């Protein structure tokens, strides 16, 4: 028999064997999901009902650390303020992989009929606010909490090491503080041991429970924030000729900023410029001295990022100069774009399809939303995918809204998928 033909036959023979092994692994994981589901949902309900803002996840972190300790892991706490890391060493030699979940909630007052809805209130940036898991981080944390339970029971079968990262302040730290994935990396979360790949998931409003989605390559945009002050000269509202009106200038600035994307950026290059705050004035008949604008810029291409910042300065300078005023611009570059490693994505997409079925895996477009998982994926190859949370017949609000809700049924799905993804990666790369 020719050597090439024999090799082909040998390869084809291994496919059913590999599929059978994958099915046995998934059966084992599914049994453990069922075993731990009630406990994990109880934990999810607790943290949803008791949400904590970024850098303040004290009780959540305490419960996570106690759980990982009880599972026999090496546990590190206090990373980036309230971050927790658990290291699970498998019973066989192999690679090291990391998995991340974010623990923080948002300053949003919940408006759902969930029996475990949040009624928590706190102070945020000097204002009293409601606190809510309005982006699904309670699901992320619960899923990873459950995956830790599952893989701890499979410790002897694991070829390698799994680093469980429970991250604070994904939505950003309070004003004047540092936090999030960037700070965890700077404080050495990947130093010892250093993973060779990192995984994470995020809920997706509107995607049905049981579905998962992924994007190869660029997945989440870079997130920048700008603060501009347009300065004029205060005067009586009935005598505008005696002053310089910053409201008129700032209004022209807001409109002109929209031409950056429509007229300066390539039509096929994704970019967003949004003015989200416009503050000025104390009284109806006084032209104020200044206007404060704040907003966000979302991009994928670093050159486009540079272009937008330059054009913002040109627009602000031109309009205020023509109007007789002046300006200040503080352009703050934030989270970089999250880019899924294409080779890793191709490998793990097979795992997703094997677990939930090809018809339940969606290839989705990149989003202009941001995600600080990017800092982990800049260090090692990363794969970040989406988890369906929408129960048929239910009404679900968008992310960051008071009516956002994730169905409990998404949690065991997330546990099963992530446990398989981690094991598939380690087994495929075992020595």
So what's the pLDDT on residue 392? 86
In contact, 421 and 352? CB cutoff 8 Å: yes
pLDDT single digits (tens) 88-116: 999 999 999 999 999 999 999 999 999 99
Bridge partners (DSSP) of residue 121 are 130
Distance CA 167, CA 101 (A): 6
Three-state secondary structure string covering the chain: CCHHHHHHHHHHHHHHHHHHHHHHHHHHHHHHHHHHHHHHHHHHHHHHHCCCCCCCCHHHHHHHHHHHHHCCCEEEEEECCCEEEEEEECCEEEEEEEEEEECCCECCCCCCCCCCCCCCEEEECCEEEECECCCCHHHHHHHHHHHHHHHHHCHHHCEEEEEEEEECCCCCCCCCCCCHHHHHHHCCCCCCCCCCEEEEEEEEEEEECCCEEECCEEEECEEEEEEEEEECECEECCCHHHCECHHHHHHHHHHHHHHHHHHHCCCCCCEEEEEEEEEECCCCCEECCEEEEEEEEEECCHHHHHHHHHHHHHHHHHHHHHHCCEEEEEEEECCCCEEECHHHHHHHHHHHHHHHCHHHEEECCCECCCCCCHHHHHHCCEEEEEEEEECCCCCCCCCCCCCCCCCCCHHHHHHHHHHHHHHHHHHHCCC
Distance CA 383, CA 216 (A): 9
- Go through the domains of the chain in sequence order and give each one's CATH number: 12-220+339-428 (3.40.630.10), 222-333 (3.30.70.360)
So what's the pLDDT on residue 13? 53
Distance CA 167, CA 369 (A): 19
pLDDT single digits (tens) 309-330: 999 999 999 999 999 999 999 9
Distance CA 196, CA 199 (A): 10
pLDDT band, residue 1 (cuts 50/70/90) = very low
Which carries the bigger pLDDT value, residue 212 or residue 2?
A: 212
Structure tokens at 31: 């049994």
**Average pLDDT score, the chain:** 95
Distance CA 144, CA 165 (A): 9
So what's the pLDDT on residue 93? 97
Give the position of tokens 């409003």: 205
Structure tokens at 353: 């399809």
So what's the pLDDT on residue 23? 81
Long-range contacts of 39-45 (CB under 8 A, 24+ apart): 39/149, 40/142, 40/143, 40/145, 40/146, 40/149, 40/411, 40/412, 40/415, 41/142, 41/408, 41/411, 43/67, 43/142, 43/145, 44/138, 44/139, 44/141, 44/142, 44/408, 44/411, 45/116
Structure pTM? 0.91
Phi, psi of 243, deg, nearest 5: -135, -165
Which carries the bigger pLDDT value, residue 274 or residue 11?
A: 274
Distance CA 294, CA 180 (A): 22
Residue 195: pLDDT above 50?
A: yes
* Cβ atoms within 10 Å of 235's Cβ, excluding its own: 17
Mean pLDDT (whole number) for 3-21: 55
* Least confident stretch, 17-21, 34-38, 49-53, 387-391: 17-21
In contact, 340 and 373? CB cutoff 8 Å: no
Distance CA 240, CA 249 (A): 13
User: What residues are labeled active site?
Assistant: 104, 170
pLDDT single digits (tens) 214-268: 999 999 999 999 999 999 999 999 999 999 999 999 999 999 999 999 999 999 9
pLDDT single digits (tens) 347-358: 999 999 999 999
Mean pLDDT (whole number) for 338-353: 97
Residue 6: pLDDT above 60?
A: no
Mean pLDDT (whole number) for 57-86: 98
pLDDT single digits (tens) 128-170: 999 999 999 999 999 999 999 999 999 999 999 999 999 999 9
So what's the pLDDT on residue 293? 98
Q: Is 98 exposed, middle or buried (0-12, 13-18, 19+ CB in 10 A)?
A: buried
Percent of the chain's residues with pLDDT above 70: 95
């Amino acid at each position: 028999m020719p050597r090439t033909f024999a090799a082909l036959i040998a390869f084809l023979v291994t496919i059913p064997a590999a599929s059978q092994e994958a099915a046995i692994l998934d059966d084992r994981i599914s049994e453990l999901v069922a075993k731990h589901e009630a406990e994990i949902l109880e934990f999810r309900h607790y943290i949803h009902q008791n949400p904590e803002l970024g850098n303040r996840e004290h009780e959540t972190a305490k419960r996570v650390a106690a759980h990982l300790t009880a599972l026999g892991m090496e546990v590190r706490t206090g990373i980036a303020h309230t971050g927790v890391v658990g290291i699970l060493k498998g019973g066989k030699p192999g690679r090291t992989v990391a998995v991340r979940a974010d623990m923080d909630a948002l300053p949003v007052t919940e408006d759902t009929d969930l029996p475990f809805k949040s009624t928590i209130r706190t102070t945020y940036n000097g204002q009293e606010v409601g606190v809510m898991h309005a982006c699904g981080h309670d699901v992320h944390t619960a899923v990873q909490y459950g995956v830790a339970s599952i893989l701890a029971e499979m410790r002897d079968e694991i070829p390698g090491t799994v680093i469980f990262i429970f991250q604070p302040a994904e939505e950003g730290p309070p004003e004047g503080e540092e936090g999030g994935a960037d700070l965890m990396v700077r404080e050495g979360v990947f130093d010892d041991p250093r993973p060779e790949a990192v995984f994470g998931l995020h809920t997706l409003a509107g995607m049905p429970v049981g579905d998962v989605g992924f994007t190869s390559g660029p997945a989440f945009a870079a997130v920048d924030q700008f603060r501009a002050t347009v300065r004029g000269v205060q005067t009586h509202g009935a005598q505008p000729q005696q002053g310089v009106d910053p409201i008129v200038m700032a209004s022209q600035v807001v409109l002109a900023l929209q031409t950056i994307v429509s007229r300066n950026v390539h039509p096929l290059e994704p970019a967003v410029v949004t003015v989200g705050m416009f503050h000025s004035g104390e009284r109806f008949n006084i032209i104020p001295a200044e206007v404060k604008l704040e907003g966000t810029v979302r991009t994928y291409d670093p050159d486009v990022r540079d272009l937008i910042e330059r054009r913002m300065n040109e627009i602000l300078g031109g309009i205020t100069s023509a109007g007789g005023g002046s300006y200040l611009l503080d352009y703050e570059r934030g989270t970089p774009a999250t880019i899924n490693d294409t080779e890793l994505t191709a490998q793990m997409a097979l795992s997703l399809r094997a677990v939930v079925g090809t018809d339940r895996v969606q290839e989705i477009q990149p989003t202009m939303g941001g995600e600080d998982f990017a800092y982990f994926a800049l260090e090692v190859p990363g794969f970040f995918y989406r988890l369906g949370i929408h129960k048929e017949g239910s009404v679900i609000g968008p992310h960051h809204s008071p009516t956002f809700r994730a169905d409990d049924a998404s949690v065991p799905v997330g546990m099963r998928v992530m446990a398989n993804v981690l094991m598939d990666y380690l087994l495929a790369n075992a020595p």
